[in-house]
Amino acid sequence: MKTPLNRKTIQQHFQYSWWMYVLAAVLCVFVWDMAYIMSAPRTPEELKLELYIYGYGDSANVDAYLDRVHAEELPDMVEVTAMYLLPDETSGLMVLATRLMAGEGDLFLLPRDSFQSYAAQGVFTALDQMEGIQELCEDAGINIERGWRKNQDTGERHLYGLPVSSMTGLSTGINTWTYATSEMYLCVRELNGNDENAEKLLRIILRDCLPGEEQAQPQPEPETVPTEAPASQI
Protein backbone atom coordinates (compact mmCIF):
# COMPACT_ATOMS: atom_id res chain seq x y z
CA MET A 1 0.00 0.00 0.00
CA LYS A 2 1.43 3.31 -1.07
CA THR A 3 1.62 6.18 1.38
CA PRO A 4 -0.50 9.04 0.07
CA LEU A 5 1.40 12.23 -0.73
CA ASN A 6 -0.23 15.00 1.17
CA ARG A 7 0.61 17.80 3.54
CA LYS A 8 0.61 15.55 6.59
CA THR A 9 2.98 12.94 5.13
CA ILE A 10 5.36 15.65 3.91
CA GLN A 11 5.48 17.18 7.39
CA GLN A 12 6.15 13.77 8.93
CA HIS A 13 8.91 13.12 6.39
CA PHE A 14 10.74 16.33 7.25
CA GLN A 15 10.15 15.81 10.95
CA TYR A 16 12.00 12.49 10.97
CA SER A 17 14.37 12.89 8.02
CA TRP A 18 15.53 16.51 8.29
CA TRP A 19 19.05 15.41 9.27
CA MET A 20 19.58 13.79 5.86
CA TYR A 21 19.12 17.14 4.15
CA VAL A 22 21.49 18.85 6.57
CA LEU A 23 24.06 16.12 5.98
CA ALA A 24 23.64 16.42 2.21
CA ALA A 25 24.17 20.20 2.42
CA VAL A 26 27.30 19.78 4.52
CA LEU A 27 28.69 17.19 2.11
CA CYS A 28 28.00 19.47 -0.85
CA VAL A 29 29.88 22.34 0.81
CA PHE A 30 32.77 20.02 1.71
CA VAL A 31 33.03 18.62 -1.83
CA TRP A 32 32.87 22.14 -3.28
CA ASP A 33 35.64 23.36 -0.97
CA MET A 34 37.87 20.39 -1.75
CA ALA A 35 37.32 20.84 -5.48
CA TYR A 36 38.24 24.52 -5.18
CA ILE A 37 41.37 23.77 -3.15
CA MET A 38 42.54 21.08 -5.55
CA SER A 39 41.87 23.14 -8.68
CA ALA A 40 42.95 26.57 -7.39
CA PRO A 41 46.01 27.90 -9.22
CA ARG A 42 49.20 27.85 -7.18
CA THR A 43 52.22 30.03 -7.70
CA PRO A 44 55.26 27.93 -8.74
CA GLU A 45 58.09 27.78 -6.20
CA GLU A 46 60.48 29.58 -8.52
CA LEU A 47 58.12 32.57 -8.78
CA LYS A 48 57.54 33.28 -5.09
CA LEU A 49 59.57 34.18 -2.03
CA GLU A 50 58.29 33.63 1.50
CA LEU A 51 59.77 34.94 4.73
CA TYR A 52 58.52 33.10 7.82
CA ILE A 53 58.87 34.96 11.12
CA TYR A 54 58.53 32.88 14.28
CA GLY A 55 57.45 35.53 16.74
CA TYR A 56 55.00 38.27 17.53
CA GLY A 57 55.22 41.53 15.64
CA ASP A 58 53.55 44.25 13.63
CA SER A 59 53.50 43.25 9.98
CA ALA A 60 53.30 46.86 8.73
CA ASN A 61 57.07 47.40 8.51
CA VAL A 62 57.96 44.09 6.90
CA ASP A 63 55.03 44.20 4.47
CA ALA A 64 55.89 47.72 3.35
CA TYR A 65 59.55 46.79 2.95
CA LEU A 66 58.88 43.61 0.95
CA ASP A 67 56.31 45.37 -1.24
CA ARG A 68 58.92 47.96 -2.18
CA VAL A 69 61.61 45.35 -2.81
CA HIS A 70 59.18 43.31 -4.88
CA ALA A 71 58.24 46.26 -7.08
CA GLU A 72 61.69 47.75 -7.50
CA GLU A 73 64.15 44.87 -7.35
CA LEU A 74 62.31 41.55 -7.75
CA PRO A 75 59.67 42.32 -10.39
CA ASP A 76 59.96 38.85 -11.92
CA MET A 77 58.53 37.30 -8.75
CA VAL A 78 54.78 36.82 -8.54
CA GLU A 79 54.78 36.88 -4.73
CA VAL A 80 57.19 38.26 -2.13
CA THR A 81 55.49 37.89 1.24
CA ALA A 82 56.04 37.52 4.99
CA MET A 83 54.09 35.32 7.38
CA TYR A 84 54.15 35.34 11.17
CA LEU A 85 54.05 32.01 13.02
CA LEU A 86 52.80 32.55 16.55
CA PRO A 87 55.32 31.20 19.07
CA ASP A 88 53.94 28.95 21.77
CA GLU A 89 55.40 25.76 23.23
CA THR A 90 52.84 23.39 21.69
CA SER A 91 51.05 24.33 18.48
CA GLY A 92 53.56 27.02 17.48
CA LEU A 93 56.49 24.60 17.45
CA MET A 94 54.39 22.02 15.59
CA VAL A 95 53.42 24.55 12.93
CA LEU A 96 57.05 25.60 12.46
CA ALA A 97 58.17 21.97 12.17
CA THR A 98 55.37 21.21 9.71
CA ARG A 99 56.26 24.18 7.51
CA LEU A 100 59.92 23.15 7.39
CA MET A 101 59.20 19.48 6.75
CA ALA A 102 56.73 20.41 4.00
CA GLY A 103 59.44 22.43 2.27
CA GLU A 104 57.66 25.76 2.71
CA GLY A 105 59.36 29.11 3.14
CA ASP A 106 62.58 30.49 1.72
CA LEU A 107 63.92 32.74 4.49
CA PHE A 108 63.27 32.30 8.20
CA LEU A 109 63.62 34.65 11.16
CA LEU A 110 63.90 32.46 14.25
CA PRO A 111 64.70 32.72 17.96
CA ARG A 112 67.91 31.16 19.23
CA ASP A 113 66.58 27.77 20.39
CA SER A 114 64.69 27.03 17.17
CA PHE A 115 67.58 28.26 15.06
CA GLN A 116 70.15 26.11 16.86
CA SER A 117 67.95 23.01 16.72
CA TYR A 118 67.21 23.15 13.00
CA ALA A 119 70.68 24.38 12.05
CA ALA A 120 72.17 21.28 13.69
CA GLN A 121 69.88 19.16 11.51
CA GLY A 122 71.18 20.78 8.32
CA VAL A 123 67.88 22.44 7.45
CA PHE A 124 69.50 25.76 6.52
CA THR A 125 71.98 26.86 3.87
CA ALA A 126 75.60 27.42 4.90
CA LEU A 127 75.90 31.18 4.51
CA ASP A 128 79.69 31.11 4.74
CA GLN A 129 79.63 29.36 1.37
CA MET A 130 77.78 32.29 -0.23
CA GLU A 131 80.36 34.62 -1.69
CA GLY A 132 80.95 37.71 0.41
CA ILE A 133 78.17 37.23 2.99
CA GLN A 134 80.48 36.53 5.92
CA GLU A 135 82.85 39.38 5.01
CA LEU A 136 79.94 41.79 4.49
CA CYS A 137 78.63 41.19 8.01
CA GLU A 138 82.06 41.29 9.63
CA ASP A 139 82.94 44.56 7.88
CA ALA A 140 79.70 46.06 9.26
CA GLY A 141 80.68 45.05 12.79
CA ILE A 142 78.12 42.26 13.21
CA ASN A 143 79.21 39.54 15.63
CA ILE A 144 78.29 36.41 13.67
CA GLU A 145 80.04 33.91 15.94
CA ARG A 146 76.70 32.82 17.43
CA GLY A 147 75.45 31.94 13.96
CA TRP A 148 78.03 29.18 13.51
CA ARG A 149 76.66 25.71 14.30
CA LYS A 150 77.84 22.14 13.83
CA ASN A 151 75.85 19.93 11.47
CA GLN A 152 75.18 16.74 13.43
CA ASP A 153 75.07 14.63 10.26
CA THR A 154 78.29 15.81 8.60
CA GLY A 155 80.19 17.08 11.63
CA GLU A 156 81.01 20.26 9.69
CA ARG A 157 80.67 23.70 11.26
CA HIS A 158 79.08 26.43 9.15
CA LEU A 159 77.45 29.84 9.41
CA TYR A 160 73.76 28.93 9.28
CA GLY A 161 72.20 32.12 10.62
CA LEU A 162 72.82 35.84 11.04
CA PRO A 163 71.92 37.60 14.31
CA VAL A 164 69.79 40.62 13.47
CA SER A 165 69.64 42.70 16.66
CA SER A 166 72.57 44.86 15.48
CA MET A 167 71.20 45.33 11.96
CA THR A 168 70.09 48.90 12.57
CA GLY A 169 70.86 50.47 9.20
CA LEU A 170 67.16 50.94 8.40
CA SER A 171 64.76 52.49 10.92
CA THR A 172 61.99 50.08 9.87
CA GLY A 173 64.37 47.23 9.05
CA ILE A 174 64.65 43.63 10.12
CA ASN A 175 65.41 44.36 13.77
CA THR A 176 61.94 45.97 14.05
CA TRP A 177 59.94 43.15 12.49
CA THR A 178 59.35 41.34 15.79
CA TYR A 179 58.75 42.30 19.40
CA ALA A 180 61.40 39.80 20.52
CA THR A 181 63.69 40.90 23.33
CA SER A 182 66.17 38.06 22.71
CA GLU A 183 68.32 37.50 19.62
CA MET A 184 66.68 36.45 16.35
CA TYR A 185 68.51 34.77 13.47
CA LEU A 186 67.99 35.19 9.75
CA CYS A 187 68.35 31.90 7.86
CA VAL A 188 67.85 30.56 4.34
CA ARG A 189 66.22 27.15 3.96
CA GLU A 190 68.31 24.57 2.14
CA LEU A 191 66.92 23.44 -1.23
CA ASN A 192 64.04 25.91 -1.11
CA GLY A 193 63.21 25.62 -4.81
CA ASN A 194 64.18 29.23 -5.48
CA ASP A 195 67.80 29.38 -4.31
CA GLU A 196 68.96 32.17 -6.62
CA ASN A 197 66.22 34.62 -5.68
CA ALA A 198 66.31 33.66 -2.00
CA GLU A 199 69.99 34.59 -1.95
CA LYS A 200 69.21 37.80 -3.82
CA LEU A 201 66.58 38.76 -1.22
CA LEU A 202 69.05 37.98 1.58
CA ARG A 203 71.66 40.29 0.03
CA ILE A 204 69.07 43.06 -0.41
CA ILE A 205 68.06 42.82 3.26
CA LEU A 206 71.69 42.93 4.35
CA ARG A 207 72.45 45.86 2.07
CA ASP A 208 69.57 47.85 3.52
CA CYS A 209 69.79 46.81 7.17
CA LEU A 210 73.48 46.46 8.02
CA PRO A 211 74.70 49.43 10.06
CA GLY A 212 77.12 52.02 8.80
CA GLU A 213 76.56 51.42 5.12
CA GLU A 214 76.32 55.12 4.33
CA GLN A 215 79.56 55.83 6.18
CA ALA A 216 81.17 52.92 4.38
CA GLN A 217 80.52 54.42 0.96
CA PRO A 218 83.63 56.11 -0.47
CA GLN A 219 83.26 59.86 -0.44
CA PRO A 220 84.56 61.88 -3.39
CA GLU A 221 87.58 63.95 -2.56
CA PRO A 222 87.02 67.71 -2.70
CA GLU A 223 88.21 69.34 -5.84
CA THR A 224 91.29 71.48 -5.51
CA VAL A 225 91.17 74.79 -7.31
CA PRO A 226 94.62 75.86 -8.50
CA THR A 227 95.64 79.24 -7.24
CA GLU A 228 97.24 81.74 -9.53
CA ALA A 229 100.55 83.20 -8.61
CA PRO A 230 100.22 86.80 -7.40
CA ALA A 231 100.96 89.39 -10.01
CA SER A 232 104.33 91.01 -9.61
CA GLN A 233 104.25 94.54 -8.38
CA ILE A 234 105.41 97.22 -10.74
| DSSP letters spanning 13-36 | HHHHHHHHHHHHHHHHHHHHHHHH
Mean pLDDT of 95-121: 94
The pLDDT assigned to 228 comes to 47
Of residues 161 and 213, more confidence is placed in: 161
Of residues 222 and 64, more confidence is placed in: 64
Alpha helices in 40-106 (DSSP H): 59-72, 91-101
Q: How confident is the model at residue 25 (pLDDT cuts 50, 70, 90)?
A: confident
The pLDDT assigned to 216 comes to 40
Question: What's the Cα-to-Cα distance from 93 to each of 52, 84, 96, 164, 165, rounded to whole Å?
Answer: 13, 13, 5, 21, 22
The residues near 208 (Cβ < 8 Å, ≥ 6 apart) are 65, 169, 170, 173
The pLDDT assigned to 3 comes to 62
The pLDDT assigned to 2 comes to 61
Q: How confident is the model at residue 61 (pLDDT cuts 50, 70, 90)?
A: very high
Beta strand spans in 147-226 (E): 148-150, 157-159, 162-163, 184-188
Cβ atoms within 10 Å of 192's Cβ, excluding its own: 22
50 pairs with which residues across the strands?
81
Q: Of 48-52, 139-143, 225-229, where does mean pLDDT reach its minimum? A: 225-229
User: Does position 99 have pLDDT exceeding 80, yes or no?
Assistant: yes
Residue ranges covered by each domain of the chain: 45-213
**Angle subtended at Cα 79 by Cα 78 and Cα 83, rounded to the nearest 5 degrees:** 170
Of residues 227 and 184, more confidence is placed in: 184
How many whole angstroms separate alpha carbon 64 and alpha carbon 107?
17
Q: Which CATH architecture has domain 45-213?
A: 3-Layer(aba) Sandwich (3.40)
The pLDDT assigned to 23 comes to 79
In terms of average pLDDT, the best of 30-39, 76-85, 220-229 is: 76-85
Percentage above 70 pLDDT, the chain = 79
In terms of average pLDDT, the best of 20-24, 57-61, 69-73, 192-196 is: 69-73
The pLDDT assigned to 34 comes to 57
Of 89, 134, 133, 137, the residue nearest 114 (C-alpha)? 89
Of residues 19 and 197, more confidence is placed in: 197
Mean pLDDT of 127-136: 96
